[in-house]
Amino acid sequence: MVSVIICTYNRSESLKDTLQALKVQKLPDGVSLEIIIVDNNSSDSTHAVVIDSEVNSPWPVHYLFEPTPGKCFALNRGIKQAKGELIALTDDDTIPGPDWVNALWAGYKLYAADCTGGRILPLWVEKPPSWLMKHTVCLQMLAMIDHGDAPAFLSSFDPGFLFGANMAYRKKTFDDVGLFNTDLGPKGGDQMRGEDTDMLERFVNAGKRIAYIPGAIVYHKVPKERMSRSYFRRWRFESGRATCVQRGMKNSHFPLWLLRECFGNFFQAIYGYAIFDSCRAFKAEMIFWFQCGEIIELTKDYGTVYQNIKKKASRI
CA atoms of 76 and 178, how far apart (whole Å)? 10
Is beta strand 33-39 parallel, antiparallel or unpaired with respect to 167-170? unpaired
Q: What is the pLDDT of residue 250?
A: 61
Please state, in angstroms and as integers, the Cα–Cα distance from residue 266 to each residue in 45, 54, 195, following that order. Answer: 43, 52, 28
Number of domains in the chain: 2
Contact criterion met (CB below 8 Å) for 297 and 184: no
Contact criterion met (CB below 8 Å) for 104 and 131: no
Both 8 and 77 in a single domain?
yes
Both 21 and 167 in a single domain?
yes
- Which of 171, 201, 226 is where one domain is finished? 226
Provide the Cα torsion 123, 127, 132, 136; round to 10°: 40
- Which of 169, 196, 226 is where one domain is finished? 226
Q: What is the pLDDT of residue 272?
A: 92
**296-303 average pLDDT score:** 74
CA atoms of 227 and 128, how far apart (whole Å)? 6
Both 56 and 133 in a single domain?
yes
Q: What is the pLDDT of residue 251?
A: 56
Both 164 and 264 in a single domain?
no
Confidence band (pLDDT; 50, 70, 90) for 313?
very low
**186-192 average pLDDT score:** 78
- The CATH number given to whatever domain includes residue 119 is 3.90.550.10
Is beta strand 115-124 parallel, antiparallel or unpaired with respect to 210-222? parallel
Confidence band (pLDDT; 50, 70, 90) for 33?
very high
Q: What is the pLDDT of residue 244?
A: 87
* Amino acid identity for residue 158 in this structure: D
CA atoms of 174 and 79, how far apart (whole Å)? 9
pLDDT digits (tens, 9 = 90+) for 238-294: 999 988 888 877 655 778 899 999 999 999 999 999 998 988 999 999 999 999 999
CA atoms of 53 and 259, how far apart (whole Å)? 51
Q: Which helix (H) or strand (E) holds 270?
A: helix 256-274
* Amino acid identity for residue 146 in this structure: D
Q: What is the pLDDT of residue 212?
A: 98
pLDDT digits (tens, 9 = 90+) for 206-223: 999 999 999 999 999 999
Q: Is the pLDDT of residue 227 over 60?
A: yes
The CB density around residue 136, as the number of other CB atoms within 10 Å, is 8
Q: Is the pLDDT of residue 49 over 50?
A: yes
Both 100 and 8 in a single domain?
yes
Both 240 and 192 in a single domain?
no
Q: Is the pLDDT of residue 306 over 70?
A: no
pLDDT digits (tens, 9 = 90+) for 144-172: 999 999 999 998 999 999 999 999 999 99
Confidence band (pLDDT; 50, 70, 90) for 307?
very low
Both 239 and 259 in a single domain?
yes
Give residue 128's domain range: 2-226
Both 108 and 221 in a single domain?
yes
The CB density around residue 242, as the number of other CB atoms within 10 Å, is 24
**Quick one: what percent of the chain has pLDDT higher than 70?**
94
* Beta-carbon contacts of residue 163 (< 8 Å; ≥ 6 apart): 117, 120, 143, 145, 196, 197
Both 117 and 253 in a single domain?
no
* Beta-carbon contacts of residue 253 (< 8 Å; ≥ 6 apart): 308
What is the DSSP secondary structure assignment for residue 38, as one 8-state letter? E
Both 168 and 282 in a single domain?
no
Both 132 and 245 in a single domain?
no
CA atoms of 96 and 220, how far apart (whole Å)? 9
* Beta-carbon contacts of residue 166 (< 8 Å; ≥ 6 apart): 89, 90, 94, 96, 100, 117, 118, 119, 120, 145, 216, 217, 218
SS3 119: strand
Both 196 and 233 in a single domain?
no
Q: Is the pLDDT of residue 314 over 70?
A: no
Q: Which helix (H) or strand (E) holds 237?
A: helix 229-246
Q: Is the pLDDT of residue 21 over 70?
A: yes
Q: What is the distance of C-alpha 191 from the center of its chain?
A: 11
- Which of 165, 195, 226 is where one domain is finished? 226
